[in-house]
A and B are shown apart, each in its own frame.
Chain A
Amino acid sequence: MNLDPALLARIQFGFTVSFHIIFPTISIGLAMFLAITEGLWLKTKDPLYLQIYRFWLGIFAMAFGVGVVTGIVLSFEFGLAFAKFSQMAGPAIGPMIALEVLTSFFLEAGFLGIMLFGLHRVGPRLHFLATCMVALGTLLSASWILSANSWMQTPDGIEVVNGHVVVTDWLKVVVNPSWLYRLPHMLAAAYITGSFLVAGVGAWYLLRGEHVAFGRRTVSMGTAFATILIATQVFIGDILYQKMLQLQPAKMQAAEGFWDKQSESPAPYYWIIVPDQEHQRNRFALGTPVLGSIGLTHSLDGRVEGLKNTPIDRQPQMGWVFYGFRVMYGIAIIMFGVAVASLWLRWQRRLFTTRWFLRLLVVMTPSGVLATLGGWYLAETGRQPWVIYGILRTIDAVSPVPADALLSSLIAFVCIYGLFGTSFVLFAFRIIRRGPQDALKARMVYAPVSGNPVPAE
C-alpha cells in the first residue's frame, strides 16, 4: 500500500493539535474562573467560594499538565514533519514561540507551585496573587500562540528573500491583520468553555441532591458568566467573520457552502450539504430560505459569494471548512439559547429547581470544547492549501520523511494520547464523584508562613 507522507504528516499534526487544544481551552477558562472565585472568597469570606476553588483547582491542574505536555510535542512536529516550514518561517515564528516561553511559561512556572500547593503555606493575598499570575500566564500564552497562528493566516511585516522569511517590521508580525480579532474570540471561547464546565458539574450535583449549596453556587456563577460571555462572543464572532471575508475570502466562501460566484437572491442559510469538490457543486443541500441573506449580508435580498471565485488549485476542501463552522456556530446558537433560558428561569426564580434545565446544563458540559474544536477546524482547514497563507503551500512544507516512519509515530501518538485522554477523563470523574470537600474544612486552609492551619475568618 502506498501511503502519502504529506497526508500522514497532516493527519498526525491534525490529531495531535486537536487533542492538545482541548486542554489549554479548559485551563485558560478555569484559571480565570479560579482567580474570580478566590477573589470573591477574599472579598466576602464566604467559605463556599473556597470550597469551589479547591474543587476546581484539581481539575485545572490536570488540564494544565496535559496541555503543557501535548503542546511541547507540537513544536517538535514543526521541525520533524514540517521542516521546510520551520526553515522558511522560523525567523518569524521562532521568536514568538520563544516569547511565549519567556513570558507566560516563566510566569506560570513561578506561581503554579504556590497556586497548587501553597494553600497551607502562604498567606491568602499571596496565594491570590499566584492564582492571578497563573491566569495571566495562560492569557499571555494564548496571545503569543494566536499571534503566531494568525500570522500564518494573514502574514504581514515580512519579505521572502531566497525562500526565507525576513522580518521587516516586528510590530506587524505580532499585531498582524487578524490577531486583534481572533485573540478575543479564542479567549472568550475558553472562558465560555470553563463556564459551561462549571455549570454542568454543579447541575449534576443538584440533580443528584448532593453538595447542594456547592451546586447552586456553581450553577449560578457558571450560567452568569456564560450568559454575558456568549452574547459578547456572538458579537465578536460576527466582527471576525466580516474581517475574514476581506482577509481570507476562500475560507468564508467554503464555510457557507456556496459554489456559484454569486448565490441566488435571497440566499438560503445551509445547515447540511454534501459537497462535490471535483464537480464544484453540492450533491445535496438543506437550508433555511432568506436566512443566508439576513445573517451573512445583513439584508433581505443580498447575494453570497461562492467558492468558484477562488481558483481550484487555491480552494480549501469545502466539507471540512463548512462542518467546522457549522459545529462551532450551531453550538454557539444553542449556548445563546441556554443563556436566554437561564435568564428566564432566574427571572422566574426557578434556576436551581427546574430539572429539565439542569439536565440540559449537564448535556452542555463539554459544549465549549466541541465548539472550540469546530472553530479551529474552520480556521486551519480553511487556510488550506496554504500553511502560510498565500506564501507557502502545505504540500511544499512537509519534511522528506518516509511514510512508514510517519505512520508508526502516528500510531504511537494515538496510543499515548488515548492513554492521556482516558486518564484525564477517569481522574476528572473521580474528583467529581468524590465531590467538593466540606465547606467547614475548606475554611481551615490558609495559614501564616509558620504552616499552622488557622481559620480564615
Chain B
Amino acid sequence: MIMSAASVWRSIGPVGATILGVAFFFAIIGVFGLSASIATLVLFVALAVFIFRLPQDQETRP
C-alpha cells in the first residue's frame, strides 16, 4: 500500500521530534560541556516558548 504524503509526514514527524529530543537531552546533560549545555537549554526553552504560542484544535480525536 502506498502511503499518502500526509501519513508519511505523520510518521516522520514523531520520529524526527524524538531524535531531536534525544539530542537535546544529551546536550543538556552536559555531554558536550557546560557552555554547550547552557546554550542548548536556552535554545530548548526559546523553542518551547515559541511553540506555546500556537493555537490548538479544540476537538478530541483518537
Contacts and interface: CB of A to CB of B under 8 A. Distances in A.
A341 B19 CA distance: 11
Contact of A355 (B34, B52, B57, B62): B62
A450 interface: no
B61 A333 contact: no
A121 interface: no
B61 A353 contact: yes
A344 B41 CA distance: 17
B20 interface: yes
Specify the main secondary structure of chain B where it touches its partner.
helix
A207 B52 CA distance: 21
Given A231-B45, A343-B47, A353 B26 contact: no
A371 to B, nearest CB: 16
A238 B52 contact: no
B31 A298 contact: yes
A258 to B, nearest CB: 19
A228 B25 CA distance: 13
A216 B56 contact: yes
Interface in B6-62: 13-14, 17-18, 20-21, 24-26, 28-34, 37-38, 41, 44-45, 47-49, 51-52, 54-62
A207 B61 CA distance: 10
Interface residues of B, number: 35
A294 interface: yes
Interface in A307-334: 333
B29 A238 contact: yes
Contacts of A209: 60
A45 interface: no
Nearest to B48: A227
Most buried by B among A295, A337, A344: A344
Contacts of A347: 51, 54
A340 B28 contact: no
A343 B48 contact: yes
B41 A352 contact: no
A232 interface: yes
Contact of B28 (A231, A348, A353, A354): A231
A206 B54 contact: no
B17 A341 contact: yes
Contact of A228 (B13, B31, B45): B45
Contacts of A206: 60
A347 B48 CA distance: 10
Interface centre among A232, A294, A333, A343 (most CB of B within 10 A): A343
B13 A216 contact: no
Interface of A: 206-207, 209, 216, 220, 224, 227-228, 231-232, 234-235, 237-239, 242, 294-295, 298, 333, 336-337, 339-341, 343-344, 346-355, 358
17 contacts: A206-B60, A231-B24, A231-B41, A234-B29, A238-B28, A239-B30, A336-B21, A340-B18, A340-B21, A343-B47, A344-B13, A346-B51, A350-B61, A352-B57, A352-B58, A353-B57, A355-B60
